[in-house]
Structure 1
Amino acid sequence: MDIAPATARTELTFRDATGDDVPALVRLVESAYRGDASRAGWTTEADILHGRRTDADGVREVLAVPSGRILVAERDGDPVACCQLEHRGKAAYFGMFAVRPDLQGAGLGKVVIAEAERAAREGWGVREMHMTVISVRAELIAWYERRGYRRTGELTPFPYGDERFGVPQRDDLVFELLAKDL
């Protein structure tokens, strides 16, 4: 898959993450969501959550799930995006989606999510993809809706007090389940 401008053609390749990828994946996810570096892109959570988005143990936990995987998108051998996929019965769960901030807004995310949907549909035969998004992330939810995801209205409380998920800067955070028929 090629999403680079014609003047700088580099192919995007996909592969499953391994334990050797943990440090690079932590840096990628953190850069997309937290701190000043995340402000280079549009998916930052820096204004609603401080602290970390993930850590090495969190990434290793995702890698250890027998029914899951982390899909890595690389350009010239460098990870530029990733996402978690987990087989959950008739659906797949999509999470830990990160695109390098300086590459956001150029179509890379669309390509990655399409590949994740294809991989879940063909690899597991699932008919639906699920994800959770912090409900106050209106712009992000709208982006997913343009990709065919629908709001289900199913809410899950944000885990206030558990700093593994960040340090909330607001008291109205909840996760909403989004779903898409594959």
Structure 2
Amino acid sequence: MSRTHWRRSLTVSNPPLSQRLWDDNRDLAEACLEHPFIVGLADGTLSESRYGLFAQQDHFYLDAYARSYAWGAVRAQDFATRRQFGSLLAGIMTEGTLHEKTAPELGVSLEDVQPLPAAREYTDFLLATASLGTIGEHLAAMAPCAKLYGWLGTRLADQPYEERYAFWINMYAGAGYLEKVDIIMGMLDEHGDDSVD
């Protein structure tokens, strides 16, 4: 065995950026499983009024998320990255139908939603990062929510849950949504180093 080969065989490969970030923050994801909202989704005890408020705020958020992905497509330097942002944008359009279908049943309107401060601040951050940051910074801002929702949906789907909010669990544990999570995480791995000074 040559000396070069030996050195290469001793080199420990680092996990991709997306995995390192997830591993560094996994405790926060685990804590989310104990949040009353998530517990209520799983056991069916979440009130319709609480879910209705969430649906309104999430609708506002998804609109900003869609605009952020559109910004990414505009700012991308190559066609492959534009195509990936376009795929993510299409996924958000599908995700948005979740609330469009359930809002009338809950008696809530998705028109003229007044965002709560947390929703406004988060969406302002996403849009500012999309328009002013690098593609890597943009993806680093977008990826945590996508990853967390897919992880929560999958975790809830892997245990017994009540049918009342099964539509939410099925959306975020579904193959279509998880495929979009894989896309954004792969993009973060590809472009993440462009956010380093």
Greater relative contact order: 1 or 2 (C-alpha under 8 angstroms, separation 6 or more)?
2
Q: Which has the higher helix share?
A: 2
Mark the structure with the bigger radius of gyration: 2
Q: TM-score, normalised by structure 2?
A: 0.30
Q: TM-score, normalised by structure 1?
A: 0.31
Q: Which has the higher strand share?
A: 1
